Amino acid sequence: MLSLLSLLGLISIAMALAPPLTVQDQFPTAISDDVKVPVVLGVMSRCPDAILCESVFNRVLQRVSDKIDISLSFIAKPNASEPLYGVTCMHGQEECAGNVQELCAAKYHTTSEWWSFVQCQNFQGRDNIGTPETALNCANAAGIDWENGKAGQCAGKDGLGTEGIQLLQQSVNDSIAAEIQKSCTIIINGRQVCIRDGIWYNCEGGHSSADFIRQINEEYDRLNRAD
């Protein structure tokens, strides 16, 4: 028969074994502590394939923007004979200017702001990307103060701001280091998962927005798995 004394003993052992209920248990780790999935699009601002990729990723961002860190990595050829940019952009100097504007917007603004800026540029038609008018109009549409803010200063009036040119050269170097050669190349968590260059290819996991969302969710779960 269980004596009162041994019963009390069992209760105290049970209490010692059970971990105390902490705030942590009631509220799982805050979502802001999570690890985002790096997503890189290797692009050129006036390239039709890049514009297509960015429109696919517009749908991706609508679904998983809180799970990713998205950035653009620009493709051009380093060229010491280029007097303005030091790189040759496949679609001309205006493309270099567009690249600079997009990099500067991304450096100084939130993803939702700079992404809106890029989408707006794309909607103006390929031949208008990189012009001072398009940059100004699209900055306004994206809620960016281009004339008085840091992004506009970085890009300069004609896409020739010193800081912007530096960012472009750095981005071109980064693309070369990451072996990004085709616009558009899609990289999810460091892995090239798909290329769009006239046609889609090397897209093992598919090339629709739903396919990219699925791959991002898988990587996110892997990165944030509680062990």
Q: Could you list the residues that contact ligand NAG (CB under 6 A)?
A: 77-79, 81-82, 88, 166, 169-170, 173
Least distance in Å: CB of 88 to ligand NAG?
Answer: 4
Nearest 10 degrees: Cα torsion 123, 178, 180, 113: 0
- Which H or E element spans position 14? helix 4-17
Query: Per-residue DSSP letters for 34-70?
Result: SPPEEEEEEE-TT-HHHHHHHHHHHHHHHHHGGGEEE
Quick one: 138 or 167, whose CB is closer to ligand NAG? 167
Instruction: Pick between residue 32 and residue 81 the one whose CB is nearest to ligand NAG.
Output: 81
**Looking at residue 182, what DSSP letter applies?**
S
Sign of dihedral through CA atoms 151, 154, 155, 158?
Answer: positive
Write down the least CB distance from residue 139 to ligand NAG, Å.
24
Which of residues 87 and 213 has its CB atom nearest to ligand NAG in the complex? 87
Nearest alpha carbon to residue 97 among 168, 195, 9, 33? 168
Which C-beta is closer to ligand NAG: that of 88 or that of 202?
88
Q: Considering the complex, what minimum distance in angstroms separates the CB of residue 92 from ligand NAG? A: 10
Q: How far is the CB of 151 from ligand NAG (least distance, A)?
A: 19
